[in-house]
Amino acid sequence: MAKASARSKSAAPSRLPRGRHALAPEQVLSDQRQRLLAAVPAVAAERGYEAMSVADIVKRAAVSRNAFYKNFRDKQDCVATAHEAGHERMFEVLSLPCYEGATIEQRVEGSLAAALDALASQPDLARFLFVEAPSAGEDIALRYHEWLQRYGTLLRAAAPDLPPQSSPVPEVEGVIVGGIASRVASEVLRGRGTQLRDLTAPLLEYVLAFYRSNEPGPKEGRVLAFESDQEPSELPDARRRQAGA
């Protein structure tokens, strides 16, 4: 599988001081664990889940193989832990804006912008979470879909004052978040991971289309632009053909 050309240029983790130092053994182990987890997205983005190895991870993390096995059972265990840590971080980024802003539109836009900014600044993490992890074995794939369901609960947090019949039901929340995740993966695979912030406006219109309220909803043509892979210059012709159909 061809890898996206745009990658985050994270510096290699710095080693602990050589020789004697004042760090307790548990501090050393914790530091090594964090560096191993931080190395996973970059290695997964560069080599892909199937091809990456424990040797690749320890080299990137600048720790010994022995240190790896003191922290994790195997590659799968390390990748699963990094996957959980990545989604925990993204959930935190998404959550705070859900409780800010005067309208649903402001809250959803704030959450989307914050998450897309975070992913655009770390395209390796975006590729790991939304491209590599879903195909990294059944256990991780299951957790990935469970995380999508958990993200869906934030849609309710963004609309606390709406009556239940005006908000998406839980089954539809999964559809909404799945569509967003698919779009993010598509952009990353096209080498546009650093430009994910550009998706804020079309994804906002996409999400608002599922709410039934008096607040501003999707504007005509915006969702079409989100769905299409055509270049912007081609869209007017496409709309005229649809109007004449």
CB-based contacts of 48, cutoff 8 Å, min separation 6: 1, 3, 132
Per-residue DSSP letter, 73: S
Amino acid present at 191: G
Judged against a pLDDT cut of 50, whether residue 230 lies above it is answered with no
| CB neighbours of residue 242 within 10 Å | 9
Mean pLDDT calculated for residue range 155-174: 86
Taking the C-alpha atoms of residue 174 and residue 153, their distance in angstroms, rounded to an integer, is: 9
Q: Quick one: pLDDT at residue 75?
A: 97
For the stretch 53-62, pLDDT in tens is 999 999 999 9
Taking the C-alpha atoms of residue 58 and residue 40, their distance in angstroms, rounded to an integer, is: 9
Judged against a pLDDT cut of 80, whether residue 90 lies above it is answered with yes
Q: Token digits for 55?
A: 């040797």
For the stretch 11-70, pLDDT in tens is 445 555 555 556 787 888 999 999 999 999 999 999 999 999 999 999 999 999 999 999
Q: Exposed/middle/buried for 225, CB within 10 Å: 0-12, 13-18, 19+?
A: middle
Q: Quick one: pLDDT at residue 240?
A: 44
Q: Quick one: pLDDT at residue 9?
A: 44
How long a stretch of residues is the chain? 245
Taking the C-alpha atoms of residue 36 and residue 57, their distance in angstroms, rounded to an integer, is: 7
- Helix, strand and coil in the chain, % to nearest 5: 70, 0, 30
How many CA atoms within 13 Å lie on the side-chain side of 230? 11
With beta carbons less than 8 A apart as the criterion, state whether 63 and 54 touch: no
CB-based contacts of 154, cutoff 8 Å, min separation 6: 91, 94, 95, 98, 111
Q: Which of 25, 22, 34, 24 is nearest to 62 (CA)?
A: 34
Q: Token digits for 50?
A: 């199937």
Q: Give the relative orientation of helices 138-157 and 170-189 as an angle to the nearest 10 degrees.
A: 120
Mean pLDDT calculated for residue range 72-98: 96
With beta carbons less than 8 A apart as the criterion, state whether 104 and 162 touch: yes
Q: Quick one: pLDDT at residue 126?
A: 98
With beta carbons less than 8 A apart as the criterion, state whether 176 and 155 touch: yes
Domains of the chain: 29-75 (1.10.10.60), 80-229 (1.10.357)
Q: Quick one: pLDDT at residue 180?
A: 97
Q: Token digits for 141?
A: 């794939």
For the stretch 130-161, pLDDT in tens is 999 999 999 999 999 999 999 999 998 888 88
With beta carbons less than 8 A apart as the criterion, state whether 45 and 132 touch: yes
